[in-house]
Structure 1
Amino acid sequence: MAYRPLTSVLRGWVRTPVPARIAVIYLLSRLVTTGYFALAAAGSSPASRFGATPTLGDYAAGWDAQWYWTVATFGYPTALPVNEAGQVLENAWAFMPVYAHLARVAGFGDWVAGAVLVSLTSGYLACLALFRLLRARIGAAAALWAVAFFASGPLAALFQVGYAESLFVLLLLVALDLVSRRRYGWLYLVVPVMGFTRPGVLAFALFLGLHGISRWVSRERHPLPAKDVAHIVALGVLTTAVGFAWQVIAGLVTGDPGAYLKTELSWRRNWLTDPSADFVPFEGFVRGAEFWAGQWGMPAWAGWMILAVLVTGAGYALLRARSVRRLGLDIRLWSASYLLYLLAVFFPQSSTFRLLFPLTPLAGALAVPRSRVYRWGMLLLCLLLQWAWILAMYGSAQTYWQIP
């Protein structure tokens, strides 16, 4: 008799439409995140960058959200700000316009409210898109668990702050699903919006190239119509053009062809005393490995070895891990493309964890094992890591590495 109510609830849950189930998971996750933010605010000290009594609005508008607000309110500078040494300072050109202006429209004058609304809505829609992407690969039950891990994961705070990540991931998941279903035509609309939401679309251009090669290699087993070839080539060209377009726009507006790259490199001076004046691919992670090795009291070569181990481990997981292979070739190719992009263009620091958000499809690999103990344990781990992230990056943020 005692089990009948529970059985009834489980049956009702199974019969509930998937979008409604995902909505319940997402809303419960957002309540947990809100509670975490409230706890972090209650324990915040005067030494925190947010002060002793921050509000949820302060957290939502913190860090990069201030830059998006600047873009929406004042636009982009026509002259790059420089310091006494003539070095370009941090400025709005590092932030794309789509999210900033969408939040302004959604907020009807209250940018922070609009930003949170866009992030929240994008997060729910991204959960739907993730389920759709994974269902055919790992099954509906596992895909729903992947959604739970995603909605409750270590970086789930991004669904409730003024950052463009949730919108970008939504567009990315839609784009990956379109590619996997060979619905290439819609990508001509999705790619430009994605490209002007946040950096990363060049990784998608690489993915399209690898996707095209994989289809060509397997054309005897899986037909490759001429129209698909035309779409893949055209989309590759479009995505590459979109990926470099912001650099061109920044150069034309400011009169400095290197405006965008100089702006991005300006952030490295917060970490390195002698950053390179010019962008050199892959240098960021090499210098970062040296920097963090020094912070931990190790020689530079130890940092290089750790970096090599991490890269090798990631490559092995994408190539050989059974749960990752279950996700299909396209998801693995995207993950490899994005990781290579990160290695080429970024400097590793605390924000690197946030920059891993576009690897969201790999959440499906975490959901493949069917053990209930494992799945509930993984969900608990996600929630614990989320609390650690919020506490470190918002509640007690006072040192150089505590930047979300």
Structure 2
Amino acid sequence: MADLSPSTRVAASWVTAPVAVRVGVLYLAARFVTTGLLLLAANLSTFGSRFGPDATLATLVTGWDAQWYWYVAVHGYPTVLPLTGSGQVAENQWAFMPLYAYLSEAVGLPFGAWAVGAVIVSLVAGYLASLVLFRMLTPKLGDPAAMWAVVFFAAGPLAALFQVGYAEALFLLWLFLSLWAVMQRRYGWLYLLIPLMGFTRPGVLAFALFLALHGIHRWLTRRTDSLTGVHVVHIVALGAWAVIVGFSWQVIAAAVTGDADAYLATELAWRRNWGLGGEGFVPVEGFIQGAAFWFTQWGLGPIVGYVALAVTVIGFAAFLVFVPQVKKLGVDLRLWAASYGVYLLLVFFPQSSIFRLLLPMSPLVGAFAVPRSTVWRVGVLCACLGGQWWWIYTMYALGDTIERVP
């Protein structure tokens, strides 16, 4: 070792360092960069922004949905749904799951501030999610590519969500642990992880679909991948468990408020901001309306929007099925991405929050780490950082219209 150059010794020390340390170093470096970008956004905030000209890092990390989670922690959930002047259900806390809000409150108690607890929870959950992502991808891609995937994940366009008062980082931790458990056939952990997901943020119904597709795939490949009776029981029971958990929040909201439609009416209250009614939920309607709305706004007309929607769906399916780098991730991660894509297509109205809602597809970043070219990987990292600044600047420094909501 004494005869080696300093750079060689550093490289050797890096390779032999514990995975938790390597991931931690990269994650902290990414958080340092994100903090700098948030500070710059605060400095660029003006009267036109919802944060005003006196914006600080603290006001940014507690802005937007973080205010709702804080409100849940302080005031709980309404027993009587608030109404607009026209008698429709107004935006309220029932749209936000309780686990992140109350966990942040508990962590923040020693500091006397919910916001401190929220940032700590997001930071720690983001680090642990990065660590689990590395563990998931290493058997498929190898150590170097998996570590690059962690870099892309920790420094990605939406990486600010790892240090603001949003539930995404905590949800990603539960999700990655769940996917890892499925990949390792350790189904027992899912009985705990599924409710943790379900009460952190919406999306567990997508996991129910994923388990169904996973079970079908295991049945079709049972001659090469032994499928035991115990595993069959687990997969079926867990699929049912995910469905129960997925609908439980609607049942709870109905029981507390006495309104059977409390949760869906609350969610649709946000859609009414776009002048699209929101009188009732119809699967896929949101994306169909969104395609017509946005392409009309852009002067292209609804027909072009419908064609673009169809091309996007078909293109994403082809991406999952045919792209070699994606295929290297394995069947389970691709089935999850497909399941979550179907879920979004069924329930969401596409607007600026779509970028945030795509985060659960983060395991796909592994595909961008497969090419071994250093130029390619550095280029992807630069694109991630550029996208991160665009998102932070748009949502926080500007943040002045309904079209700029994280």
Normalising by the residue count of structure 2, what TM-score does the alignment of the two structures yield?
0.98
The 2-side partners of 1:300 and 1:384 are apart by 31
Q: 1:342 maps to what in 2?
A: 344
Q: CA deviation at 1:204?
A: 0.1
1:67 aligns to what? 68
Is residue 146 from structure 1 mapped to residue 149 from structure 2 by the alignment? yes
Cα deviation for residue 142 of structure 1 reads 0.4
Once the two structures are superposed, residues 71-126 of structure 1 have per-residue CA deviations (whole angstroms, 9 ceiling, x without a partner) of 11000000111112211110000000000000000001310000000000000000
What amino acid sits opposite 1:11 in the alignment? A
Instruction: State the one-letter code of the partner of 1:334.
Output: W
CA distance in 1, matches of 2:32, 2:225: 46
CA-to-aligned-CA distance 1:372-404 (integer Å, 9 cap, x gap):
110111111101110111000001111221100
Structure 2 match to 1:87: 88
1:323 corresponds, among 316, 322, 325, to: 325
RMSD after superposition: 0.9
What letter matches 1:113 in structure 2? V
Counterpart secondary structure, 1:394: helix
Identity %: 58
Taking the aligned partners of 2:389 and 2:61, their CA distance within structure 1 comes to: 16
| Equivalent in the alignment of 1:99 | 100
In 2, Cα distance between equivalents of 1:394 and 1:158: 12
Find the aligned partners of 2:276 and 2:203 in 1 and give their Cα distance.
26
Match of 1:121 in 2: 124
| Cα offsets for 1:226-262 (capped at 9, x unmatched) | 0000000110110000000000000011111010000
Q: Which amino acid aligns with 1:61?
A: T
Once residues 103 and 274 of structure 1 are traced to their aligned partners in structure 2, the CA distance between those partners, rounded to angstroms, is: 34
Aligned length: 401
Q: Which residue pairs with 1:170 in the alignment?
A: 173
How far 1:6 sits from its partner (Å)? 2.0
Query: For 1:281 and 1:26, how far apart are their aligned partners in 2?
Result: 38
Cα distance in 2 for partners of 1:53, 1:306 equals 41
Matched position secondary structure for 1:256: coil
Cross-structure match for 1:161: 164
Task: Name the CA distance, whole Å, in 1 between partners of 2:60 and 2:294.
Answer: 27
Separation (CA, whole Å) in 2 of partners of 1:299 and 1:112? 43
| 8 A contact 2:81–2:257 mirrored in 1 | yes
> What letter corresponds to residue 55 of structure 2 in structure 1?
P
Alpha-carbon distance between aligned partners in 2 of 1:57 and 1:170, rounded to the nearest angstrom: 24
1:309 aligns with 2:306: no
Q: What secondary structure sits across from 1:30 in the alignment?
A: helix
Which of 278, 281, 287 aligns to 1:279? It is: 281
CA contact (8 A) 2:119 2:163 kept: yes
The answer as to whether partners of 2:78 and 2:93 remain within 8 angstroms in 1 is yes
Contact 2:272 2:278 survives alignment (8 Å)? no
The answer for the alignment partner of 2:187 in structure 1 is 184
Q: Per-residue displacement from partner, 1:179-235 (whole Å, max 9, x unpaired)?
A: 010100111011111100000000000000000000011111111110000000110
Among candidates 195, 202, 205, match of residue 205 of structure 2:
202
Q: 1:288 aligns with which of 282, 287, 290?
A: 290
Q: Which residue number in structure 1 is paired with residue 30 of structure 2?
A: 29
The alignment's TM-score, normalised by the length of structure 1, stands at 0.98
- Superposed displacement of residue 275, structure 1: 1.7
How far off its partner does 1:5 sit? 2.5
2:137 corresponds to 1:134 = yes
Q: How far is the alpha carbon of 1:274 from its aligned partner?
A: 3.6
3-state SS, counterpart of residue 149 of structure 2: helix
1:47: Cα distance to partner? Answer: 1.1
- Taking the aligned partners of 2:380 and 2:6, their CA distance within structure 1 comes to 26
Q: What is the alpha-carbon distance in structure 2 between the residues aligned to residue 182 and residue 8 of structure 1?
A: 39
